[in-house]
């Protein structure tokens, strides 16, 4: 299949395929749009089932970063990279250094940050060979704790703020005490979100592909562990997808009992029309590229002189942005994702006069 005719290709500005025989590195870098600034986005490592699956993911993710940064009012464009491989089995310093050397060749067109399957330490290894990595500097965290550059706390906090805004709009309640939430994915972001929810009095059901992560949530947060094929269909107030994307599809949407979907995962919709499918069922969807912007906000501030309190204030605007999107969607009787896309496109391509294109 030609890249230019790929269904996820959206006039991407740049696409690179990386191969290094000595280290086994196979990666793809996608830059979607740089109208607002350089393309900053995470470097994901995942054992994709095929090269096509990796390509589809990086095209979707990079496009989503353009929309995310625009809605977060950041002077950044959208980009993403994926390394094909199991991070628990195939990651090595040599592989990461090879990735760093390639990033340097791009000359700052794309700036890599932590993502699923990579860590701050991994980006620091890449940084031995490139200046174009972010989220790697030790600094005071916005939550008052020391931070090694990991943006996960900011992502989780922004998701928590956004979830509260969704609950207020859909359920008419300002507190989370007794709220029932199913969290799919208890990784760096999902676990921190679960902590915030637990501290606020919410009751939790959790699932993760790693049993140790689930057990930690059970032991430390009093969460209830459930099977992967059950987590999205539980009779709860909120479903919070915090793992990989495309989990909201024809089958899962038909089985949803929750009235709110608000989670940190990227590209939660399998296809664009699933936004409307949620709306038709009376389920409020917090567009993922809005609610999970805390991490990119944190990383942006690191690059431009970190101020922990300024980061917190900026992350908390996620709730305001979502409230505006929900209100506009209700008034226009249109899905929330369509409204969010329209707002973003006004910001990163104001002169083009194009209609909104759904980010799935």
pLDDT at 307: 83
Catalytic residue among 80, 91, 164, 203: 80
- CA-CA-CA-CA torsion sign (147, 155, 214, 42): negative
pLDDT at 109: 96
Angle between helices 51-71 and 294-303 (to 10 degrees): 70
Structure-token pair, residue 236: 């709860």
Each residue's pLDDT, cut to its tens digit, for the chain (360 residues) gives 589 999 999 999 999 999 999 999 999 999 999 999 999 999 999 999 999 999 999 999 999 999 999 999 999 999 999 999 999 999 999 999 999 999 999 999 999 998 889 999 999 999 999 999 998 887 777 667 777 778 889 999 999 999 999 999 999 999 999 999 999 999 999 999 999 999 999 999 999 999 999 999 999 999 999 999 999 999 999 999 999 889 999 999 999 999 999 999 988 999 989 999 999 999 999 999 999 999 999 989 887 777 888 999 999 999 999 999 999 999 999 999 999 999 999 999 854 444 444 444
> In the block, which residue shows the tokens 């740089």?
34
pLDDT at 1: 56
pLDDT at 354: 42
Classify residue 347 as left (phi > 0), alpha (psi -120 to 50) or beta: alpha
Which of 116, 263, 292 has the alpha carbon at shortest distance from 183? 263
Q: What is d(CA 111, CA 108) in angstroms, rounded to the nearest whole number?
A: 6
pLDDT at 123: 96
Structure-token pair, residue 185: 């994915």
DSSP secondary structure string for all residues of 116-177: TT--HHHHHHHTTS-S-B-S-S-EE-TTSSEESS--HHHHHHHHHHHHHHHHHHHH--S--T
Q: 0.85 cut: is pTM over it? A: yes
Exposure pattern of 149-171 as b/e (b: 16+ CB <10 Å)?
A: bbbbbbbbbbbbbbbbbbbbbbe
Is 68 among the residues known to form the active site? Answer: no
According to DSSP, the β-strands at 39-46 and 77-84 are: parallel
**Which strand ranges, in their side-by-side order, compose the sheet holding 224-225?**
224-225, 203-207, 180-184, 238-241, 260-261, 284-285
The residue count of the chain comes to: 360
């Amino acid at each position: 299949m030609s890249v230019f005719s790929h269904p996820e290709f959206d006039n991407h500005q740049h696409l690179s395929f990386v191969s290094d025989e000595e280290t086994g590195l196979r990666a793809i870098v996608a830059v979607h749009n740089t109208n607002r600034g350089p393309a900053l986005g995470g470097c994901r490592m995942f054992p994709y089932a095929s090269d096509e699956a990796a390509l589809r993911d990086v095209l979707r993710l990079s496009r989503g970063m353009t929309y995310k940064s625009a809605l977060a009012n950041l002077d950044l464009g959208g980009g993403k990279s994926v390394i094909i491989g199991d991070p628990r089995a195939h990651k090595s310093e040599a592989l990461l250094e090879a990735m760093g050397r390639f990033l340097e060749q791009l000359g700052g067109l794309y700036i890599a940050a932590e993502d699923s399957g990579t860590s701050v330490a991994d980006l620091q290894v890449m940084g031995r060979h490139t200046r174009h990595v972010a989220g790697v500097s030790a600094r005071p965290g916005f939550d008052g704790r020391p931070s090694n550059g990991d943006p996960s706390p900011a992502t989780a906090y922004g998701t928590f703020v956004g979830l509260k805004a969704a609950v207020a709009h859909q359920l008419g309640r300002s507190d989370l005490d007794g709220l029932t939430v199913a969290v799919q994915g208890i990784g760096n972001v999902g676990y921190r979100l679960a902590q915030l929810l637990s501290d606020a009095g919410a009751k939790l059901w959790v699932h993760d592909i790693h049993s140790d992560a689930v057990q930690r949530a059970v032991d430390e947060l009093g969460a209830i562990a459930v099977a992967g094929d059950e987590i999205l269909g539980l009779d709860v107030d909120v479903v919070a997808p915090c793992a990989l994307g495309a989990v909201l599809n024809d089958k899962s949407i038909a089985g949803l009992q929750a009235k709110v979907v608000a989670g940190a995962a990227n590209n939660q919709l399998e296809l664009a029309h699933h936004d409307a499918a949620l709306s038709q069922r009376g389920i409020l969807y917090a567009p993922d590229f809005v609610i999970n912007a805390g991490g990119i906000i944190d990383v942006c501030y690191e690059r431009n002189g970190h101020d922990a309190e300024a980061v917190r204030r900026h992350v908390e605007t996620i709730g305001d942005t979502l409230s505006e999107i929900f209100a506009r969607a209700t008034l226009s009787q249109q899905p929330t994702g369509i409204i969010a896309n329209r707002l973003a496109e006004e910001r990163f391509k104001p002169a083009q006069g194009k209609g909104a294109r759904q980010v799935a």
